[in-house]
Structure 1
């Protein structure tokens, strides 16, 4: 029997429904989990706070995309505004708006989770068959350098000239038209997101998906979740309509991502001895902007297809980073490119000639780096997110060195000028000017930092004293509650996280399915 996708305007009265599993969230974790549970014949209800939008709604306009497909209209940030956070909020979650980069988890990260954090039974051999299946289903394939846009080719050339390691990125696309609009929603359905692959499959197999429904609280009875209470939102205003949806499942899986999942648990009074929301990681990013004589047109073509992990491991006590390039669309560029007034206007006028190099730093793998916290402020119905992410000398040293490497790469690729992301940017006209970065100010709000990757906050591990969920993704203090998304990572990854989340969700689906049998 086929399921259905409901939107908020269809829910005109309070409703109470029952099911085998309630999946909260429809991104990489929830999308895979919902599919696997529905495939097993279970009755699945999926809740998504964002709207249900498809290729017909993706008009290639940033003004449309950021206001409808992202958390807080793409304005989510840490409480001190020092780090801006891009995060999806729509059916398909981050898989609908990400840049398609697909990496398997680095083995050294999985080994660290095992050896330091006590995660059991999760290694590259265990995950390999799950990744194999996902890569086939989602058409995850290498994107050859011959098809790279000029923005990525410049990085490739700079890495080659400096003798740094380099590779091409696998992308989850099928018949990609290289429009460069991945972050705005794919208008041709080439991106093999959860929106166009596993979620439709799950609905065909009976899953009910409720969009514009925001899960607010899990109701507990002892060690069991007995209900998920959710607000129905108006699809046009994104505000509560006053109607409520209550789901009474046998098992609940929280899959809202590394910010919203901890927040839901905290609103429900589930703190895991104070560990929920702790060890939250962002992959903080600094951006180096290059200006070239040639047209780069970084707003067109596959946005991210070249990478380097040359500097991912700089040794004990040093922050490492992954090197990539982002797409450069006007609105996104305007809030990340440095400068003010006439200087900023002139830089924007030269947008077709701009290249950007991003340094995606790897946090959480050094003892001194505990990451940030996700918390709540206020009481009852009026709680609000509180995201803290202290940036210390440890981070600033890494940012400084990453910007120096990025500038050298850009000059090696032929840049005429390179600008740093400082509020008063360091302007470099040749490689000899890179040393000027040493004396630049490195402090919150004086140097722009951003992130599109969120991890941790509900860490898995070998003990309830140090982790929120066990090695089967079950919440330690509840018999029928699982967390299945990037929030379970004990550390960050050092690569784009989508495929790790996909793989862990596919692997973890069996544990969730087994729990349904126990609670039937």
Structure 2
């Protein structure tokens, strides 16, 4: 029996529905989980707060994408505005708008989860068959350097000239036209996101997906979730329509991501002894911009295809980082480029000649580095999210050193000028100027920091005293509640998180399925 995708404007009255499993969220975690449960013949209902949009809606315009496919119109940020947060919102979640980078979890991270955080039964060997299946189904393949755009080739050349480690990135694409619009929604369906792969498969196998439906509260009776209470949103205004959807499942899986999942639990009075929302990690990023004599045109081509983990482990007490490049689209560049008026205009006029290097820092693996918190402002179902992420001297030292490495890489690749992300940018015109970065201000709002990766907030582990979910992803204090997304990571990863979440959900689906017939 085939399922259906419902949108908010189709839900014209209050509804109460029953099912085996309610999956809240349709991104990397929810998409895989919904597919695996439907494949097993279970009755699955999936709730997605965002809209259902397809390639016909993806017009490659930033003004369209940011307002329809991102959380808070792409304006989500920490409470002090010091870190901007790019996060997907819509059917497919982050897989619809990410840049396709696919990395298996570094083995040392899984080992740390086991040895420090008590996670049991989850190692690279255990996850390997799940990754194998996903890589085949999602066409995750290496993107050779010969196909890289000039933005990525410049990083490759700089890494080679300085003798640093370098590699090419695997991407989940099929018949990719290299349009460069990955972050705006793929208009050709080349990106093998949840939107075009596992969610349609699950719907064909009977899953019912409700878009424009915002889960507000889980209703508990003793140790069980008995209902998921949700608002139906008007797809045109993205505001509550006044209609309600209530789902009464046997088992509930929260898959809203590392900000929205903790928020839903907290709105439901599920704080796990104060641990929900704690150990939240972002992979804070600083960006170095190089200007070249040649045209780079970083707004075209596969956006992220080269990486280096040369500096991921700098030793005890030091913040490490992953090196990659982003696409440089005009609107995003305009709000991240420093300066005002004529100086800003001059930099924007040079956009076709710009290369950017990302330093994606790895937090949560050093003693005492507990990341940030997700909490609520106000009471009841209509509270506002609050994300706090203190940046300490530990972070600022890492940002400074990362910017120095980035500048050297860009000069090695032939840059005529390198610009730092400070509010008053450091402008360097050669290797001799890199030392100027030591004298720049490193503090919130004076050095721009961003992140597109959210992890933690519902950490898994070996004890209810230190974690929110156990090693089967079950919430410690409920028999039929699971969390299946990046929020369960006990630390950050140091690589793009999509494939880790995919593999974790594929592996974890067995535990969720078992719970339908009784406690797993």
C-alpha distance in 2 between matches for 1:256 and 1:382: 17
Equivalent residue, structure 1, for 2:420 = 420
Deviation string 1:197-255 (CA, Å, 9 cap, x unpaired) is: 00000000000000000000000000100000000000010000000000000000000
Equivalent residue, structure 2, for 1:48 = 48
Determine if contact 2:258/2:456 at 8 Å carries over to the other structure.
yes
Equivalent residue, structure 2, for 1:309 = 309
TM-score by length of 1: 1.00
Equivalent residue, structure 2, for 1:99 = 99
Equivalent residue, structure 1, for 2:518 = 518
Determine if contact 1:250/1:519 at 8 Å carries over to the other structure.
no
Pairwise CA distance, 1:382: 2.8
Q: Name the SS for the 1:367 alignment partner.
A: coil
Determine if contact 1:251/1:519 at 8 Å carries over to the other structure.
no
Pairwise CA distance, 1:363: 0.4
C-alpha distance in 1 between matches for 2:305 and 2:226: 45
Pairwise CA distance, 1:344: 1.1
Equivalent residue, structure 1, for 2:8 = 8
Determine if contact 1:418/1:427 at 8 Å carries over to the other structure.
yes
Q: How does 1:273-292 map to 2 (within 5 A)?
A: 273-292=273-292
Determine if contact 2:217/2:381 at 8 Å carries over to the other structure.
no
Q: How does 1:177-326 map to 2 (within 5 A)?
A: 177-326=177-326
Pairwise CA distance, 1:425: 0.1
Equivalent residue, structure 2, for 1:85 = 85
Equivalent residue, structure 1, for 2:120 = 120
C-alpha distance in 1 between matches for 2:114 and 2:132: 22
Q: Answer yes or no: is 1:364 the counterpart of 2:330.
A: no
Deviation string 1:158-201 (CA, Å, 9 cap, x unpaired) is: 00000000000000000000000000000000000000000000
Q: How does 1:438-477 map to 2 (within 5 A)?
A: 438-477=438-477
Structure 2 stretches lacking a partner, 5+ long? none
Deviation string 1:450-505 (CA, Å, 9 cap, x unpaired) is: 00000000000000000000000000000000000000000000000000000000
Q: Answer yes or no: is 1:74 the counterpart of 2:79.
A: no
Q: Name the SS for the 1:109 alignment partner.
A: helix
Pairwise CA distance, 1:519: 6.5
Pairwise CA distance, 1:381: 3.2
C-alpha distance in 2 between matches for 1:395 and 1:154: 27
Pairwise CA distance, 1:338: 2.0
Task: Give the superposed CA RMSD.
Answer: 0.7
Pairwise CA distance, 1:368: 2.2
Structure 1 stretches lacking a partner, 5+ long? none
Determine if contact 1:338/1:419 at 8 Å carries over to the other structure.
no
Pairwise CA distance, 1:256: 0.1
Q: Name the SS for the 1:380 alignment partner.
A: coil
Pairwise CA distance, 1:289: 0.4
Determine if contact 2:38/2:202 at 8 Å carries over to the other structure.
yes
Pairwise CA distance, 1:334: 1.1
Determine if contact 2:282/2:453 at 8 Å carries over to the other structure.
yes
Q: Name the SS for the 1:499 alignment partner.
A: helix
Equivalent residue, structure 2, for 1:136 = 136
TM-score by length of 2: 1.00
C-alpha distance in 1 between matches for 2:423 and 2:340: 8
Aligned residues: 520
